[in-house]
Amino acid sequence: MRETTPQQDLLRGIWRENPVLIQMLGLCPALAVTNTVANSIAMGLATFFVLCGSSVLVSLLKRFIPHEVRISTYILIIASFVTVADMTLEALVPVIHKALGAFIPLIVVNCMILGRQEAFAAKRSVGRSLLDAAGTGVGFIIALLMLGAVREVIGYGTFLGISLFGPSYEPWVVMILPPGGFLTLGFLLLGLNWVRRHREKRATLGEWPEGVRKEEAA
């Protein structure tokens, strides 16, 4: 594995290797519960907690985890953290817990978390693992927030429950329904692709001699 600096560990997961938008991991929660910003934040934080917790634990225990059963061990650790998160949320914020429903226990099978244990926490120091987990977790929260914001603003006309367009705004119900989740993510990816291509094109065109650029434009 290529050596990385701590800053890279932290920042990588946030944007460049964003788990949802780039790596297509953790899609199920990213689509299922992002119909409001509040739900997105709750789901993001719960996942963040599980991710950081299990990364630290796996990194701490890496010497004691036999190689053959490492995946099962990781899953057990993650499942424990998820159960803790599930019960805590239910006790503290029952309304949001009800809204997220079965998708909190499903954090267990979020490939993103297992992936970070296998790819990073099992090999690095506790501090590095925490940084990596935090970065990935923040990236996950950012992606969820983007989806949640788009869907809530268009679907309800509100942001975090605060009305944006006045009482006579016609909500686009489809955005809070499942098709809205798929379409919003599809649209976001379309936009990201467009931005990336636009940038690449500008970069390439800048280096080309005058004549070639004209031909390209034609």
Partner 1 sequence: MTPARLLVTASPHLGGADSTPTIMWSVVGSLVPVVAVATYYFGPSALLVIAAASAGGVLTETWFGPKGALRDGSAAITGILLGLTLPAGLPLWMAFVGGVFGIGFGKLVFGGLGQNIFNPALLGRAFLQSAFPVAMTTWPTAAPHWSDLRGDNLAIPLMSPEVVDAMTGATPLGLMKFEQIGTQVSALIMGSVGGSLGETSALVVLGCGAYLAARKHLNWRIPASIFATVAVLSGSLHLLDAARYPGAMFMLFSGGLMLGAIYMATDMVTSPVTNKGCWVFGFGIGFLVVVIRLWGGLAEGVMYGILLMNALVPFINRATQPRVFGTDTKQVVT
Partner 2 sequence: MSDAHAGSGKGSPPPPARAEARSLRLLGTLAGGGLVAGLILVFVYEATQPTIRAYKAEVLRQAIYEVLKAPDRYDTLFVYDGRLTLELPDGVDSDDVERVYLGYVEREPVGFAIAAGKPGFQDIIRIIFGYDAATNTILGMKVLESKETPGLGDKIEKDMAFVTQFDGAQPELIGVKRGKGTGDSDEIDMITGATISSRTVIQIINEALERLGPMLETYGEVAKR
Partner 3 sequence: MGDLLWILVSAMVVNNFTLFYFLGLCPFMGVSARVDTALRMGAANIFVLILTSLCAWFLNTFILPYAPFLRLISFIVVIASLVQIVEMVIKKVSPALFRQMGIYLPLITTNCAILGLAIFQTNRGYGFLQGMAFAVGAGLGLTLALVLMASIRENTELADIPEVAKGTALIFIIAGSLSLAFMGFAGMLSAT
Nearest approach in angstroms of CB 17 to partner 3 is 15
- Whichever of 102 and 218 has its CB closer to partner 3, that residue is 102
Determine, following the binding rule CB under 8 A, whether residue 3 of this chain makes contact with partner 1. no
Determine, following the binding rule CB under 8 A, whether residue 159 of this chain makes contact with partner 1. no
Widest CA span in the chain:
68
Question: What residue type is 110 in one-letter code?
Answer: N
Residue 118: name the closest of 51, 217, 182 by CA: 51
Residue 88 site contact among partner 3, partner 1, partner 2, none (CB < 5 to 8 Å, cut-off depends on kind): partner 2
Alpha-carbon distance of 30 to 14, in angstroms, equals 15
Determine, following the binding rule CB under 8 A, whether residue 165 of this chain makes contact with partner 1. yes
- Whichever of 24 and 93 has its CB closer to partner 2, that residue is 93
**With the C-alpha atoms ordered 164, 165, 170, 172, is the resulting torsion angle positive or negative?**
negative
Nearest approach in angstroms of CB 125 to partner 2 is 10
Chain residues 143-162 in contact with partner 2, contact rule CB under 8 A: 155
116 within 8 A of 53, measured Cβ to Cβ: no
Please give the structure tokens belonging to residue 116: 């970070």
133 within 8 A of 116, measured Cβ to Cβ: yes
Residue the block writes with tokens 């993001």: 44
Chain residues 177-206 in contact with partner 2, contact rule CB under 8 A: 177
Residue 30: name the closest of 122, 113, 141, 116 by CA: 141
Could you say which of 11, 153, 183, 188 contacts partner 1 (CB under 8 A)? 183
Query: Where do contacts with partner 2 occur on this chain (CB under 8 A)?
Result: 1, 61-70, 72-73, 76-77, 80, 83-84, 87-88, 90-92, 94, 122-123, 155, 171, 173, 176-177
Query: Where do contacts with partner 1 occur on this chain (CB under 8 A)?
Result: 165, 168-170, 172-175, 177, 179-180, 183, 186, 190
